Chains A and B, each alone.
Chain A
Amino acid sequence: MLIYAFLILMTTFALFPAFFVVQAAFRPGQSLYTLTLSLWPDHPTLDNFAYIFTKLPFPTWLRNSLGVSVGTMVAGLIGSASGAYALSRFRFAGKQMTLILLLAIQAFPSVLALIPIYLILKTIGLIGSPFGLVLAYMSIALVFCTWNLKGYFDTIPRELDEAALIDGCTVTQAFWRIILPLSLPALAVTALLMFLTAWNEWVMASVLLLDENTYTVPVGLWGLQNDYRVPWGYFASASLIVSVPVVILFLGLQRYFRSGLTVGGVKG
């Protein structure tokens, strides 16, 4: 019984903020700013949703977020898969050095890398462009994907591709015909994690995007709060739209979170 009491208490703590966003999204106007406690709006409406889609550039932000996230995901995967294979299977000089270097790069917090990235993008004229933002995200994505895929390739029994090599397969055939097909789930999970990271990222985007028309959703939403009275209703309805798919995706993925490194890419 005590356990149920604890679980109910914890579930309230866990779900109340989520519930709060839902009710705020359906609350008309500024009625969140009341001094009386009310759990559900008396007259729920879809006005907030209508407003963000018609009066705010929210559809543009959604498109930008989608483009940037898909770009990061695809480029990250393509750029890292063959390298991860080499690190998992080939014997070569400088391998340990490469691994330690990758580790060092991963330990460099992305916020701190923002100054040089900002200056470099300014120099090559990509500041403010979504393409520049994808490049900035790639600085995290490539290393993350390499680690993650190498970790997965390591768990595929070596005998499989070694047997293929003995039978006359080339290394490239072993990679394309054996390793990659066997890694499809890992490739998918890595890709989706990369997508989520870019989709939820606020810090870099807030520095590297300058114009409302290129904003991604997180930057656009936080830009709304320049007002003295933060339009929480708009914010809540937009939050609901961007996070419901993400939460479902996350819940579906979390049973694949094997190692700490995988987890590290999701938040922060």
Chain B
Amino acid sequence: MYRVRAWTTLTYLTPMIVGVGLISLYPILYNIFISVTNQNLYHFRHYSFIGLTNYQSLLKTLDADFFIVLARTVLFVAVCIPLFLGLGMLNALALNHPAVRFKAFWRVALIIPWAVPSYITAFVWKFFFNGEFGTLNQLYRVFAGPQAGLPWLSEPNWAFASVVIANLWMSYPFFMVVILGALQSIPSELYEAAAVDGAGAFRKFWRITLPLLRPAILPATVLSAILTFNTLNTAFLITQGGPFTSAAKPGATEFVMVYAFREAFQLFNFGYIAAFAVVIFAMLFGVTLGSLRFSGLVREEAR
């Protein structure tokens, strides 16, 4: 760390500061401005200030769209993360097992879903879930008879599960890679010592592996939870946020970002969604700061 003249610092920082200020920060500030106006399809050019009305309609009652969408998204994250983590862990343990051969092959095969662009992932799974021609129902008919079919995308709970499955497919490799990396850094002496002391496989996993994986798993989990909370592509492209049971209520897979996207660019409720964005952002920033403080990253940055 060195002291340099103020203008040197300024010269070095200028491109980034100007760029970030104009392209990243200004839209966010502008968003706060929009959130106190009634700008929408009917008041696109001639909008007026309406104070905190958008925030009021956002949060007025517990059955407002905001809370429905938020609760559904939190549930989605709560279902997804243990599945991602569990499957990632199983794969990592299998890949780390000393008896397994051709590790490089398995590793590459298992990581491929992560590499596929998410809009293509959505395209493939949308076809799989298709009620009539979809691969999953074709398989199902082999066992259940020609008339059978599961309501993958037409029933609310099934649609929710469908989006979970598509997300599981594309998200478990991240945990697999993180956990495998951490597994390989655990010294084998620890297991040998435990074996000498008479510990079984389960006890070794519980007492040695898991505690030593924690520092790797925790930040990965927070990051993945935030990304899952922000799910848009898979949900929107597979289900459009539906199925919708009533016109006035959000659809069964209308998670936070899907809701924002639909309200903003299909219904053009700009002012309302700008307020929605401010509230969601405050929550996400809180979580980010909290988790960084938790993992000690901020202290390290401050040095």
Contacts and interface: CB of A to CB of B under 8 A. Distances in A.
Interface of A: 3-4, 6-7, 10-11, 13-15, 17-18, 20-21, 24, 32-37, 78-80, 82-87, 89-92, 96, 98-109, 111-120, 135, 138-140, 142-143, 146, 158, 162, 165, 171, 175, 199-200, 202-203, 207, 218, 221-222, 232, 235, 239, 242-243, 246-247, 250-251, 254, 257, 260, 263-264, 267-268
Contacts of A83: 12-17
Given A109-B280, A112-B280, A250-B115, 9 more contacts: A20-B124, A90-B3, A91-B3, A111-B257, A113-B31, A142-B23, A146-B16, A203-B232, A222-B119
Given A35-B133, A254-B177, A268-B118, A235 B19 contact: no
B1 A158 contact: yes
A165 B25 CA distance: 35
A96 B25 contact: no
Interface in B192-244: 219-220, 223, 227, 230-233, 237
Give the most central of B16, B125, B264: most A CB within 10 Å.
Answer: B16
Contacts of B142: 37
Interface of B: 1-4, 6, 8-9, 11-17, 19-20, 23-28, 30-31, 34, 87, 90-91, 94, 97, 99-100, 106, 108-121, 123-125, 127-128, 132-133, 135, 138-139, 142, 169-170, 173-174, 177, 219-220, 223, 227, 230-233, 237, 257, 260-261, 264-265, 270, 273-274, 276-277, 280-281, 284-285, 288-289, 292, 301-302
A45 B299 CA distance: 59
Given A111-B232, A120-B27, A171 B8 contact: yes
Main secondary structure of the interface of A (DSSP, over half): helix
Given A17-B169, A246-B117, A267-B118, A11 B110 contact: yes
Contacts of A102: 20
A40 to B, nearest CB: 13
A115 B100 CA distance: 51
A13 to B, nearest CB: 7
B94 A7 contact: yes
Nearest to B268: A115
A121 to B, nearest CB: 10
Contact of A235 (B99, B108, B123, B281): B123
Contacts of A162: 2
Contacts of B289: 100, 103
Contacts of A247: 112, 115-116
B255 to A, nearest CB: 11
Contacts of A263: 174, 223
A218 B264 CA distance: 20
A85 B12 contact: yes
Nearest to A172: B8
B31 A143 contact: no
B19 A142 contact: yes
18 contacts: A14-B112, A37-B142, A82-B12, A82-B16, A83-B15, A83-B17, A92-B9, A108-B24, A109-B277, A109-B280, A112-B273, A140-B24, A171-B4, A171-B8, A202-B119, A254-B114, A268-B118, A268-B233
